[in-house]
Amino acid sequence: MQRALSLDRSPALGAVLRYFACTPLFALLAGLLLVWQGEAAFQSRWSPVTLALTHLFTLGVLGMSMAGALIQILPVVACSVLPHARTMAPAVHALLGAGTLALAAAFLASRPWLFGLALAALVPALLWLAGALAIGLWQRAPAGAAPMVATVRLALASLLVTVVLGTLLGMAFALPGVIPLDLARVTDLHAMWGLFGWGGLLLAGVAVQVLPMFQVTPLYDSRLERWLGSLVVLALLLCSVKALGLAPAIVLLSAFALFAVATLLLLKRRTRAADAMTKFWSLAMVCLLAAIVIWALPGEMAGAGQTLAVAVLFIAGFLYSTINGMLYKIVPFLLWHHKQTETAPGQRVMQVKRIIPDEVAQRQFYLHVIAVSLLVAACWYPEALARAAGVAISVSALSLGWNLSRACRRDLAQPAGV
């Protein structure tokens, strides 16, 4: 089935650009925090710095861009109408940004009132976003968008589970001793639903739609498109039953390995020359496979850095690389589309691919590769590499921010005939 777009349904430019602008800002903040705190971030998964960094990434970097992408893509690809989008988009953006900063500060300062403040912003932000998107996804989508819509619905359901568990954890910190929780178990479930269900499934759902479009590849195998989402959610439900042991986790990781291999094979069959997005997405899939291999290694072979390396490869290597690469397609396209609607007679709009030249995006790709490599290596050698990884993340984020902001400031109108 061909992938078609309804561009006349595109939301206001500012409504989504503000989300994408926050992606490099939160990545920069995470990089600077790592430079400041150094090896403390790699002491254990429970260290306050690690938890602050985790949420600067999951809510700030990934959450912001995923929310922006959904607010943009659903009306255009699935013809969804998001209720009160003009109020919802800026309000959710402000609450999500403020809540993420408060949550990171709460972990760093260990202050119950800061956890309360974070919950007061994050819970309405995420429920409002999920509610608006759910209403949008409930409407009849064109047949070509059906696989994406089905997977994104499951991703949204996973976000709700993540938020409920995150809220319970946040309340346990805001009101110490009042809510009896098995913190380790609830955190495992919260992290699992957030990373695999919300982050992983959303990217898989969007990939089946945008990879064939932007990279001119064949479509994904229709069985993978149809079953990946259900298989992942079923495995997550079974993982939530402790008594079933490792078997559901193996099913879950096999499903993601299948997705990574299928994506790499499709990228090989693209009919366009490799560009920055090809490289970011190939890196993302290699990182996903590496995370799965490291998870499967026996503890004595993988060493002390194993748990953190799996998380770093999944969050920064897989999820963030995919998003970083996609920003170089989405942002120029939005700017181009917006300018098209307001060009004066005798003028034409600069070609999309010239708005951010590919060589500029590819330079940032190499900075990103250095940042991810140092971050992974720092899981085993924190004293030597933690601060260097922080510097590399900051430099890569500055470069991404500079490239995006330059594109926004460019005058895209040219005299016709140029």
CA distance 280 to 274: 10
Q: What is the DSSP string of 247-299?
A: HHHHHHHHHHHHHHHHHHHHHHT-SSPP-HHHHHHHHHHHHHHHHHHHHHS-H
Q: How far apart are CB 110 and ligand HEM at their closest, in Å? A: 11
Q: How far apart are CA 408 and CA 37, in angstroms?
A: 33
Q: Given the complex with ligand HEM, which of 69 and 163 has the nearer CB atom?
A: 163
| Separation CA 244–CA 238 (nearest Å) | 7
- Sign of the alpha-carbon torsion through 202, 205, 208, 213: negative
* φ, ψ at 349 (rounded to 5°): -95, 140
Please state, as a whole number, how many other Cβ atoms lie within 10 Å of the Cβ of residue 108: 17
Name the minimum Å distance from CB 361 to ligand HEM: 25
Residue 171 or 219: which CB sits closer to ligand HEM? 171
In the complex, what is the shortest distance from the CB of residue 226 to ligand HEM, in angstroms, rounded to a whole number? Answer: 25
Q: In terms of CB distance, is 95 or 276 closer to ligand HEM?
A: 95
Tell the smallest beta-carbon distance from residue 275 to ligand HEM (Å).
Answer: 28
Residue with smaller CB distance to ligand HEM, 109 or 261:
109
The tokens for 287 are 């990182």
Residue with smaller CB distance to ligand HEM, 310 or 404: 310
CB of 276 to ligand HEM, least distance (A): 25
How many CB atoms are located within 10 Å of the residue 352 CB?
Answer: 15
Of 315, 317, 60, residue with least CA distance to 195: 315
Q: Which is nearer to ligand HEM, 169 or 335 (CB)?
A: 169
Q: Give 117 or 327: the residue with its C-beta nearer to ligand HEM.
A: 117
Which residues of the shown chain bind ligand HEM in the complex (CB under 6 A)? 45-46, 50-51, 54-55, 58-59, 63, 103, 119, 122-123, 126, 162-163, 166-167, 169-170, 173, 183, 187, 190-191, 194-195, 198-199
Other C-beta atoms closer than 10 Å to the C-beta of 402 total 13
Least separation in angstroms between residue 115's CB and ligand HEM is 7
Smallest gap from Cβ 128 to ligand HEM, in A, equals 12
Those residues with Cβ within 8 angstroms of residue 312's Cβ, 6 or more apart along the chain or in another chain: 372, 375, 376, 379
